[in-house]
Structure 1
Amino acid sequence: MIVLPPETSSPVHATGASRLPHAEPAGGTFGRRETRLMTILLVARLEAAGIDHVCRVRNLSQTGMMIECSTVLAEDDRVRVELRNLQAVDARVAWARDGRAGLQLDGPIVIDAVLSTVPDTSAIIARTPRIAANCPTVLWHLGTLSASVLCDLSQSGCRILIASPLPRDSEVRITIPGLSPRRARMRWSNGESVGFAFLEMLSFAEVSAWQTDRSVRFASDRAEI
């Protein structure tokens, strides 16, 4: 099933499973099972042309989905999408317009598995999608400022390289270029790599806008050239 672009830019409103317009192969019809389309709002990780992005899944079926993403996509582009509770799925862009795109999945997925609740033991899988980065940041802790490097970012937190270790649960303020300063708490450490959870999550719009400026997102790459 290929989810067709909406008639207008207005979002589709529905509750639960719904019957919405979709592509139909010549000379045949889809059964009820094939036409099951869920209207949802789920943040996912999108990989396109070797770069990862956050996107938002609006409609989902066994064989297709409609997404919102700030990155530019074109018909027939190959992409990969990572949804919660599900391994990455490969897809082809069937259409793209006004920041939305319809994807034709390479193989069917189990919708109920995507929407089910993740057990506490698998909480790491359910965390918000993270996108790679490599840019200088400033870390404030107990009145001291230090330079650090952002490795990845999500709505709920980030991973940073720091020179000096911090005690677990340390509260800091992180300044990332292109974003407002964020208070965060240290959650884990693995050598020089440290994970922080934001005390106030970033909005999808903030991360979506930030990821498009590669001169900021990968500023440290440019400095090494």
Structure 2
Amino acid sequence: MIVPPPETSSPVHATGASRLPHVEPAGGTFGRRETRLMTILLVARLEAAGIDHVCRVRNLSQTGMMIECSTVLAEDDRVRVELRNLQAVDARVAWARDGRAGLQLDGPIVIDAVLGTVPDSSAIIARTPRIAANCPTVLWHLGTLSASVLCDLSQSGCRILIASPLPRDSEVRITIPGLSPRRARMRWSNGESVGFAFLEMLSFAEVSAWQTDRSVRFASDRAEI
């Protein structure tokens, strides 16, 4: 059983993994039974009840983790967490309260591989987690506005459908309902979808709040584009 920690931490705005001084909470955690417990700050993708969300991993061990997320979870829910090296792990919710949850993993993981500190993981490019969307957007490029559809979103960029191709490295402004307009640069195109990198990353709080409004996040029909 994973015992929830007391409310002692304050909000931290970060997007990658960073090892923080470990503080053993009163009453203990699953770390008392595992020597590989690490206190980190790692943004991940959470799949729960058929919907994906961004979450933040606070504690990580070989068989469990504690996460922060804006979606409502309940004890015994089944979830999947996609970590920074695209490794997906299945888990059961052991406890949930106040925007946090303790997950019991179905099988052990290699922590160094998850954090990208072993040679075998060096070829894997870490990326910020992407969440699916189906949302109308407005694209501004060289004084021209055009309609587009958002396919997925991360803190560092997005993938959209556009009617007319753009030259690689084009700088644009993208307006997504519920978020402030973002300047971005085109990074790739597969003929239908286009990938953009934001010039200024979204904060975890912005993405976390935006993803909960499904009336905005899944507002359009892609077939219209």
Q: Same fold (TM over 0.5)?
A: yes
Q: Retained in 2: the 8 A contact 1:4–1:22?
A: no
Instruction: List gaps (5 residues or longer) in structure 1.
Output: none
Structure 1 residue 13: deviation in Å? 15
Q: Map Cα deviations across residues 11-70 of structure 1 (whole Å, 9 max, x no partner).
A: 899999999999999999999872431000000000000100000000000000000000
Tell me the CA shift for residue 115 of structure 1. Answer: 1.4
Aligned-residue offset at 1:166: 0.2
- 1:109-167 Cα offsets, whole Å, 9 max, x none, are 01111112588997774110000000100000000000000000000000000000000
Same amino acid, percent of matched pairs: 98
State the superposition RMSD in angstroms: 4.9
- Comparing 160-169 with 120-129, which one deviates more in the overlay? 120-129
- 1:150-203 alpha-carbon deviations (Å, 9 max, x no partner): 000000000000000000000000000000000000000001200000000000
Change (3 A) 1:206 1:116: same
Q: Which range moves more in the overlay, 192-201 or 85-94?
A: 85-94
Q: 1:2 to 1:21 in 2, by over 3 A?
A: farther
Q: TM-score if structure 1 supplies the norm length?
A: 0.85
User: For residues 168 and 18 of structure 1, what CA distance do their matches in structure 2 show?
Assistant: 33
- Range with greater deviation from structure 2 (13-22 or 136-145): 13-22
Query: Which deviates more from structure 2 when the two are superposed, residues 106-115 or residues 147-156?
Result: 106-115
Contact map agreement 1:134 1:221 (CA 8 A) in 2: yes
Q: Distance in 1 between matches of 2:28 and 2:43?
A: 33
Corresponding residue number in structure 2 for 1:173? 173
1:27–1:210 Cα change, 3 Å: closer
Aligned to 1:116: 116
Question: Does the 8 A contact of 2:19 with 2:39 survive in 1?
Answer: no
CA, structure 1 residues 19+114, in 2 after alignment: closer, same or farther (shift >3 Å)? closer
Check whether the contact 1:133–1:152 (CA below 8 A) recurs between aligned residues.
Answer: yes
Taking a change above 3 Å as real, the CA distance of residues 29 and 40 of structure 1, as seen in their structure-2 partners, is closer
SS where residue 114 of structure 2 aligns? helix
| Residue of structure 1 equivalent to 2:204 | 204
1:75-97 CA distance string (max 9 Å, x none): 10000001122520000000100
For the 8 Å contact 1:5–1:101, the answer to whether it is kept is no
Which residue of 1 is the match for residue 132 of structure 2?
132
Instruction: Give TM-score, length-normalised by structure 2.
Output: 0.85
The 3 A distance-change label for structure 1 pair 164 and 222 is closer
1:154, 1:207 within 8 Å by CA — same for their partners in 2?
yes
Q: CA deviation at 1:2?
A: 2.6
User: 5+ unaligned residues in a row in structure 2: which ranges?
Assistant: none
Distance 1:144 1:158, change over 3 A: same
